[in-house]
Amino acid sequence: MADRTLLLFKLQRIFHAASGNHVQRLIFRPVHYVAGLVFSRIIFPIVKKRWEVRTKTFFGANMNLALPAGLDLYILGAKGHHSECKLAMFLVKNLKPGNNFYDIGAHVGYFSLLASHLIGEEGQVVGFEASPDTFELLHKNCYPYQNIHIENKAVGKDAEQITFYEFPDLH
């Protein structure tokens, strides 16, 4: 089961690194920082193809990502934006073993995996991701977990067909 005090401490360190300067991020995770920036700033502009990598999250889960879009997760082991750090802290403080969690717009599964870690085998995570390409990574990340069920579908208030637009690999 999750040691919530340790997870919150790690999230505070991640938030500090994410909101700091380049030197602070370099010190936080040097190999990932250099590799991620070399790919994002030098290689990607030339080849225009994403690079699939595997990294470990702050809560110990392995995650498959596509760079450059997943650069924050690759460097920090967590989503680095202020709002995403706050959401992760909220989940750590409030999700309990046996809870259920719905991840609408699950992307590659960061919050689904965090929720799975926090609620344990007694709880259930249901994730929805509309993008077929992103769903492939979501599936790779979630298939080992018995308590995560994912759907390649959009979620909205009406049952209807939609046109779904995707950003290029940069985002």
Q: What is the dihedral of CA 165, 134, 115, 88, to 10 degrees?
A: -60
Mean pLDDT of the region 15-24: 94
Is 56 within the bounds of a domain? yes
Confidence at residue 169, expressed as pLDDT on a 0 to 100 scale? 66
Q: How confident is the model at residue 170 (pLDDT cuts 50, 70, 90)?
A: low
Q: What's phi and psi for 68, nearest 5 deg?
A: -90, -10
62 neighbors 144 (Cβ within 8 angstroms): no
Is 168 within the bounds of a domain? no
State the helix-helix crossing angle for 82-94 and 4-19, rounded to 10 degrees: 180
Containing structural domain, residue 105:
4-151
Is 165 within the bounds of a domain? no
Query: Each residue of 76-111: pLDDT tens digit?
Result: 999 999 999 999 999 999 999 999 999 999 999 999
Written as one letter, the residue type at 110 is Y
Confidence at residue 167, expressed as pLDDT on a 0 to 100 scale? 74
Mean pLDDT of the region 137-147: 97
68 neighbors 32 (Cβ within 8 angstroms): no
Q: How confident is the model at residue 163 (pLDDT cuts 50, 70, 90)?
A: confident
Is 171 within the bounds of a domain? no
Is 95 within the bounds of a domain? yes
% of the chain residues with pLDDT over 90:
89
Mean pLDDT of the region 67-80: 96
Confidence at residue 166, expressed as pLDDT on a 0 to 100 scale? 80
Confidence at residue 2, expressed as pLDDT on a 0 to 100 scale? 61
Tell me the C-alpha distance between 145 and 149, whole Å.
8
The per-residue DSSP string of the chain comes to ---HHHHHHHHHHHHHHHHS-HHHHHHHSHHHHHHHHHIIIIIHHHH---EEEEEE-TTS-EEEEEETTTHHHHHHSS--SHHHHHHHHHHHHH--TT-EEEEET-TTSHHHHHHHHHHTTTSEEEEE---HHHHHHHHHHHTT-TTEEEES----SS----------TT-
Mean pLDDT is lowest, of 21-25, 60-64, 100-104, 119-123, for 21-25
Q: Inform me whether the pLDDT recorded for 119 exceeds 80.
A: yes
Is 42 within the bounds of a domain? yes
107 neighbors 134 (Cβ within 8 angstroms): yes
CATH number of the CATH domain containing 91: 3.40.50
Is 164 within the bounds of a domain? no
pTM attached to this predicted model: 0.93
Confidence at residue 98, expressed as pLDDT on a 0 to 100 scale? 98
Is 58 within the bounds of a domain? yes
Written as one letter, the residue type at 151 is E
Which residue, 119, 90, 115, is CA-closest to 104?
A: 115
Confidence at residue 97, expressed as pLDDT on a 0 to 100 scale? 97
Count of domains for the chain: 1
